[in-house]
Every structure is written in structure tokens, then in C-alpha cells.
Amino acid sequence: MWSRRSFLQVGGALGTAAWAAKAAGGLDTVHAAAAAVGDRSPEEVAQDEFYWREIQEAFTLDRTLINLNNGNTCPSPRVVLEACKRYMDMSNMLPVQYRGDIERHLQTVRRGLAKEFGCDEDEIALTRNASESLQIVQTGLDLKPGDEVITTDQDYPRMLTTWDQRMRRDKIKVTRVQFPVPTTADDLYQRFERAITPQTKVLHFCHITNLTGQLFPVQRLSRLARSRGILSVVDGAHALAHFPFKIRDLECDFYGVSLHKWLLAPIGNGLLYVRRENIPKLWPMQAVSERQMASVSKFEAIGTYPTAIRASVAEALAFHQAIGAEHKAARLRYLTLRWANALKGNSRVKVLSSLEPGQTWGLAMVGIDGIDARALSQFMMNRYRIVINAVVGGQPPAQVFDYTGLRVTPNVYTTLQEIDTFVEAMEEAIKKGVPAATPGRGSGN
């Protein structure tokens, strides 16, 4: 077992050979590091660079680039990638035998996710991403012409396109609520409440948006919906494993997530939560027999798929638990406050995310007055090798909003030096300006 002293020693005196041997320990090392700081608050641990050095070592990154676009997809830690390769090798030995074995063992993954994120294992299905999870709901609900869905202008483009297609195909009505950023939970609640009509059947909104990370009052909106006989569909793509909460406490009807974002699972993993009483009523994406209609497993009926990708969620969950949800959230917030506090005093800088406690963690947005966001993101790459995406509003059926900026999404492996380089780059841009944008780069997700 590691003590705080041995933890510090390996970081310094024992040298690179010991460091490399220790780094090879993977999850053990993360557990030991967590034990060494176990008596301190998440906010204190967030500032302990010796602890976070352990986490940084758990990834095989290209440190010649600074990745501040973890909001798109995140790299998996080494242990997760190795698990995925092992399952892939195993599956390939005799697919009909071993792929089937892995598939049966996936119940461990469902059980683990349900326990960690607070729901029952027979209310969740493993999917390929948040798009699939949410589209199962969006296309699987019985809605008739004239039925209304209320969503927002800042919901995810693919989800907006999906409702738009149902509007064209099934003649449903889609109403989009607008809101300023950052705004309050009360404001968002009131905007939805005012928009509800007798035809409203669904409220669809993000837990936090992919743009500024605006946090929605999910429980209050879900209760409002239920009190009016309306279903609540929540896009949790950026929320789960980013900051701590339990799905059952949200009280929503449906919750869709990508696990290759903040859980750090390999690309191609998602989760769908369906509140128990809604399972029999919701059509699956691919057809199943009538007797399967009552089981949540119908949402996983997609034919042959790579079980190795799915099985390695178990390792990603173990990594997440080894750090701890509270510690992870506190570190992400610490990294965000580091750049935001350094920049916000400049009168040309606009931080478009709330910096109040409990509102923002590792996803926030910033713009500079007079500088085009696309040009700024290209400058970040060309001059500082910072990977970051520009956010620019569009026209329906895409997202519509009137602000622009850079979405800054660090991760648990991000170093303070990397954050400080971003601050330096922003300061240079403010002082000297940036070259005009060249075509080819737009907003990301």
C-alpha cells in the first residue's frame, strides 16, 4: 500500500526506471494514489499536482498537441485500451464461441453502470453512442399529427434534425425555446413552462449543453412534465461521469449518453436509460418479437456488433471509480477556473458559462470581442498546437444562437502548463490579433 511519502518519493528520488515500472501498474497505481490523498477534500486533491501526475501517466497521449477538445471524444486510459485489445483478440480466436461469451458477461457492465449512476440494471441498455440512445426514443415514441415536442435552439444538432424529420414525416409540431447564456435554472424552467400547450407530449432538453455547458434543472423540468402528462427526454451526452449525480434523482423518463466522452470508454459506447413504466410503450430501433417488447434488452437488438468495444466499458468504469466522481469533477472545475479567472478580467473577454459553484466543471466557453472564433481556433492550432473547437451558430434545423467563441474542454490528464499555454495564446490573440480564418473548420461537438 502506498503512503503519501512513498507516493512523493517515486515522483522524485527513485528516478525514471521506478517511475516506468510503477506506471505499468495501471489501475493499482491510481487506487494507491487515491488512497494516499483519501483524507482530503476533493477541492484540496484538485490542486495536488503529484496526485494528478499519476492520472496523467495512465494515458498514452501525444503531448506535442494540447487537447482542449475532449468534449468531442476522449482518449481512453491505457488500461481501457489494453482491455479492449484483449477482448478483441479473444473474440477473434473463435468468434461464434468467444464473442457469445463476452456478450453474456456484459451483464456485469450493465450492473456496474446501474450501480454507479443510480438506476436499476433492467432499465438500461448499452448502445453505440448518445445519438443512438436518443434516436431510439425520438423515433420510437408513438406521436400523432399535431402532437407537440418542445426542445431548445441549443440542443444537439443531430437530435434537432431527428425531431425535424419526424415533423416532416409524421406531421408533429416542434417548438424550440430560446434562452440566453449563461442563465439560471429558474429562467429555463419558466421558459419551458410558458411554452407548454395542451398539445405538448414531450420535453426534450440537455442536462448540460454541448456549447457553453449550460446546466438545466432536470428534476424540476421532469416533474413539471409529469404533472402535465408529458414525457421528459434528457440528453446527458456531456453530463454522465463528468460531474456526480444519480439518474433516478433526475426523475426523467429517458436519458441518453455517450460513454466515449467523460467516462473515457472506447469510441462506440453509449447508454440509454428508460424509466421502467415506459419500456413496453417505446418501439425499439430494430424490430423485435412481441414477447420481447417488455424488456429493456430490445433496445440492444442490433445484430452483430463488436462486443470487445462494449466489454471494455467495465475497465473504464473501474478507472472512473478509482479516481472517484467527486475528485474528477473538482479537478475539471479547477482547470476551468484556472483559465477563466486568468482571462475574465480583460474587458474584451466574454466567458459564456457560469463560474458559480455547482454550475460548470470541464466544459466552458469563451469569446474575444472583435475576433472571429474560427480564426481564433485556427490560430490556436497553427501557433500553439492547441486542439480546440470554434462554436458558431447556424440556421434551423441546426442549432441557432447569437454568440461565438471557443469551447474549452480539458480532461483529467490535462496539465496546468497546458492550461497556462492556452491562457498565453488567448493573451497574445487579444494583444496582436489573429490571421483571418481559412475555410474548412467550423463548430464541433
Nearer Cβ to ligand PLP, position 36 or 221?
221
CB of 158 to ligand PLP, least distance (A): 6
Contacts to ligand PLP by CB under 6 A:
129-131, 156, 158, 206, 210, 235, 237-238, 258, 445
CB of 422 to ligand PLP, least distance (A): 21
Nearer Cβ to ligand PLP, position 159 or 368?
159
Nearer Cβ to ligand PLP, position 238 or 320?
238
Nearer Cβ to ligand PLP, position 29 or 399?
399
CB of 127 to ligand PLP, least distance (A): 9
CB of 367 to ligand PLP, least distance (A): 19
CB of 444 to ligand PLP, least distance (A): 8
CB of 391 to ligand PLP, least distance (A): 11
Per-residue H/E/C for the chain: CCCHHHHHHHHCCCHHHHHHHHHCCCHHHHHHHHHHCCCCCHHHHCCCHHHHHHHHHCCCCCCCCEECECCCCCCCCHHHHHHHHHHHHHHHHCHHHHHHHHHHHHHHHHHHHHHHHCCCHHHEEEECCHHHHHHHHHHHCCCCCCCEEEEECCCCHHHHHHHHHHHHHHCCEEEEECCCCCCCHHHHHHHHHHHCCCCEEEEEEECECCCCCCECCHHHHHHHHHHCCCEEEEECCCCCCCCCCCHHHHCCCEEEEECCCCCCCCCCCEEEEECHHHCCCCCCCCCCCHHHCCCHHHHHCCCCCCHHHHHCHHHHHHHHHHHCHHHHHHHHHHHHHHHHHHHCCCCCEEECCCCCCCCCCCCEEEEECCCCHHHHHHHHHHHHCEECEEEECCCCCCCCCCCEEEEEECCCCCCHHHHHHHHHHHHHHHHHCCCCCCCCCCCCC
CB of 382 to ligand PLP, least distance (A): 25
CB of 305 to ligand PLP, least distance (A): 15
Nearer Cβ to ligand PLP, position 123 or 235?
235
Nearer Cβ to ligand PLP, position 29 or 269?
269
Nearer Cβ to ligand PLP, position 90 or 130?
130
